[in-house]
Structure 1
Amino acid sequence: MIYHLAKQQAWQAAQQTGRYTGSEADRADGFLHFSTAEQIAESARKHRAGEADLVLLGVEEASLGQTLVWEKSRGGALFPHVYGDVPLDAIRLAAPLPLGADGAHVFPELPGDHEPS
């Protein structure tokens, strides 16, 4: 599984349309930003600190086909990027991502990290 930090409003829109299209920033970049289980907490700290309206989306990689591309990003690490929308039936996890007392996001338990194929 790969993970994405979605705004609550974008997740609600996806439930109505049947497709998750990402944020304005994703669309401006031309792809949806995803992370592995090992990368997602740092991605939240770097890019979504203090945001209380997030939903953690978990997506099965195999369901994305050729729209999923692993590319170098932060520190040369490979990150999963999705070039296109994500069909709702590919999303296996949609969990609210509350803020803890320390202001950091509280993540549910996630399966172990995935090595890119």
Structure 2
Amino acid sequence: MRVEALRDLPKSSGLDAVDRVPLATGRKGRWPKTDPGGGIEDAALLILEWLGEQGINAMLRVDAERLAEGRPFWTFAASGGPLEIGMRADGASAALCLSSAVARLRELGVVVPH
């Protein structure tokens, strides 16, 4: 089964779709239905679960104060596991934030499945 969730990313990101990201719930092989018109944000929970399975602590957060100030208000942060140092990515939307985070994780040697 192929989950079409990352198809709207720029080709330079190297992400086209999520093929297989095992669920941490033990129900491997069961995939949630996503909106075919959605973007990377539809795969956010799958990405977070996969990172957790790799021993990486990760979170996606929205900051209302930064929104009110007109600054990028979505933040992705990850640390631990194979990451030698923690990393952070910010964006004005969930899609931009996650796209940036996945690209940064790849730069750090964590190849998120696609």
- The TM-score by the shorter chain falls in which range? under 0.3
TM-score, normalization by structure 2: 0.24
- Structure (1 or 2) with the larger CA radius of gyration: 2
Higher strand proportion, which one? 1
Bigger relative CO (Cα 8 Å, ≥ 6 apart) = 1
TM-score, normalization by structure 1: 0.23
